[in-house]
Amino acid sequence: MFEIFGIPSQALFGQLLLGLINGSFYALLSLGLAVIFGMLNIINFAHGAQYMMGAFAAYLLLQYLGLNYWLALVIAPIVIGAIGIVIERLFLQHLRKLDPLYGLLLTFGLALVIEGLFRNAYGSSGQPYQVPPALQGGRNLGFMFLPNYRAWVIALSVVVCFATWFAIERTRLGSYLRAATENPVLVRAFGINVPRMVTLTYGFGVALAALAGVMAAPIYNVSPQMGSDLIIVVFAVVVIGGMGSIMGAILTGFALGIVEGLTKVFYPEASNTVIFVIMAIVLLIRPAGLFGRRA
């Protein structure tokens, strides 16, 4: 036990850890938003609702089918991602030639519908979800206590984020994807099915949100409104980072989580608003965002 700037190390590192956890979710969600935006030119307002659906999927799988956390971690993203694909086919594909604003409005409407349906079915109070047995408990690192589940969330999030980055920036499929973002007509002329790629990209982005939801279920309560407040913060993260780069989205997500955690230690009253304040400052100094390219 020692002190840093008059703050006990336990409190400081504890909040840093919490910040890193939040940052994991910011990174996963802003990454999904960036991937979807790159391909569809749509800001997916339903991202928060889809994250919430992921958490509920984990809860329902356990409650009604007795399937544990590890299975939910695989099944929920697939199921919710499939729902995303249906949404793209039913609604979003009709908006391709319109102003991107209509995509925002439509997904906003979808978010309301989804949240309303879940509130009808499960009320507004949260449902608890147990940490899986294998990850219960924690270890003492000497300067702080590290719960196993939290360490797992951070590790998994880092792995998923970098795997996504690798897939998009360093593989052949990713290069098709980036080419189709730049010039869809030309890529189609090479015999690549761009509309299918768009659909699958949306499904993948939604699956990322659902995965984040499953990971969040044991940490936060599973509740219908868990996504809507989070998504607004993630929007601010996206504005700060700029959506030009995948790596930018990931790094900004983690960094802002840590900043938020530190704010909780030094000036708790501002912890809710610090990200928005940073957004305002970034807009003043570098309007295109930290990693953005000027449009």
Partner 1 sequence: MAAALDRSADKYGRKSGRSLAVAFAVMVALFAIGPFVAYPIFLMKALCFALFACAFNLLIGYVGLASFGHALFFGWASYVTAYAAKTWGFSPELAIIAGVAAAAVLGLVVGSLAIRRQGIYFAMITLALSQMMYFFALQAKFTGGEDGIQGVPRGRLFGVFDLSDEMTMYVFVVVVVLAGFLLIYRIINSPFGEVLKAIRENEQRAISLGYAIDRYKLVAFVLSATLSGLAGSLKALVFQLASLTDVHWTMSGDVLLMTLLGGLGTVFGPVVGAFLVVAMQNYLAPFGQWVLVIQGAVFVVCVLAFRRGIVGEIARLLRVAL
Binding site for partner 1 (CB under 8 A): 43, 91, 94-95, 98-102, 104-106, 108-117, 119-120, 228-229, 232-233, 235-236, 238-239, 269, 272-273, 275-277, 279-280, 283-284, 287, 295
Nearest to 194 by CA among 207, 176, 169, 208: 176
Q: Is 215 or 236 the residue whose CB approaches partner 1 more closely?
A: 236
Give least dist CB 228 to partner 1, A.
Answer: 8
Nearest to 279 by CA among 269, 270, 271, 289: 289
Q: Is 120 or 125 the residue whose CB approaches partner 1 more closely?
A: 120
User: On the CB side of 19, how many CA atoms lie within 13 Å of its CA?
Assistant: 24
Q: Is 62 or 199 the residue whose CB approaches partner 1 more closely?
A: 199
Cα-based distances in Å from 152 to 158, 176, 222, 237, 239: 10, 32, 19, 23, 28
Output DSSP code: residue 131: P
Give least dist CB 255 to partner 1, A.
Answer: 17
Give least dist CB 187 to partner 1, A.
Answer: 24
Nearest to 128 by CA among 56, 206, 236, 186: 56
Give least dist CB 171 to partner 1, A.
Answer: 28
| Cβ neighbours of residue 9 closer than 8 Å, sequence gap 6 or more | 1, 2, 3, 143, 144
Q: Is 110 or 187 the residue whose CB approaches partner 1 more closely?
A: 110
Q: Is 112 or 167 the residue whose CB approaches partner 1 more closely?
A: 112
Give least dist CB 118 to partner 1, A.
Answer: 9
Tokens of 164: 């996504």
Sign of CA dihedral 282, 287, 288, 294: negative
